[in-house]
Amino acid sequence: MFFQAFFIFSLLFLSSDAAVLDFCVGDLSVPDGPGGYACKKPSAVTANDFVFSGLATPVKLNPLIKAAVTPAFAPQFPGLNGLGISMARLDLAIGGVIPMHTHPGASEVLYVVTGEICAGFISSSDNKVFFKNLKQGDIMVFPQGLLHFQINSGKTTGLAIVSFSSPTPGLQITDFALFANDLATELVQATTFLDAATIKKLKGVLGGTN
């Protein structure tokens, strides 16, 4: 009898058109909105939607920077959609570097899994640099939108896990933004004070034109 009673009560929140969703697993196949992707049909959601194994192994390192960034943002891990958080994995070989970059829409916390990493950011108000050599287990926070970098400062491979205050933090690597596109050399020159030769050399390295 108790069973029946509760079953009735419970039904209140079970009818398919009435349930308040606790999550909104992203459906990448329909248009997204300013707040994220549309929600996958709840009945099709399984535990697998909330688990992501893409950070378990590093991607191939980029030989120039001897490093790699593997994102677990909403587009890769749609279970994060709408939940205000995401992760990424940083692999840094000896001498590896994650170049100067920003995340336009999120703050970041970095945790050193193995190795030693010199990390820092630059404030906008007075261009002051805040950096420190991080040991295994240390964490560091990088405030939203500010230029920052990570360098392997140890004698072994470095591995770090970083977390962001948004499921879609974005990643703008300054060198790529300036040199890996068709922005005219004159415009880069006028807006950065670099000379044309330097710009053209970096455009060559990074695949930019013009």
Site for its own copies in 142-181 (CB under 8 A): 142-147, 149, 151, 161, 163-165, 168-172, 174-178, 180-181
Q: Is 201 helix (H, G, I), strand (E, B) or coil?
A: helix
Show the tokens assigned to 98. Answer: 């994650």
| Eight-class DSSP state of 40 | P
Compare residues 46 and 155 and give the one whose CB is closer to its own copies: 46
Residues 67-86 vs its own copies: string with x where CB under 8 A?
Answer: -xxxxxxxxxx-xxxxxxxx
Q: CB neighbours of 44 closer than 8 A, spacing ≥ 6?
A: none
Q: Is 34 annotated as a binding residue?
A: no
- Out of 91, 92, 105, 158, the only residue in the binding site for its own copies (CB under 8 A) is 105
Taking the C-alpha atoms of residue 115 and residue 155, their distance in angstroms, rounded to an integer, is: 8
Strands 139-142 and 108-114: antiparallel
Query: Residue 107 CB, nearest distance to its own copies (Å)?
Result: 4
196 near its own copies (CB under 8 A): no
Query: Residue 185 CB, nearest distance to its own copies (Å)?
Result: 13
Query: Residue 157 CB, nearest distance to its own copies (Å)?
Result: 15
CA nearest to 82, candidates 31, 30, 2, 22: 22
Q: Is 116 annotated as a binding residue?
A: no
136 near its own copies (CB under 8 A): yes
* Residues of the binding site: 101, 103, 108, 148
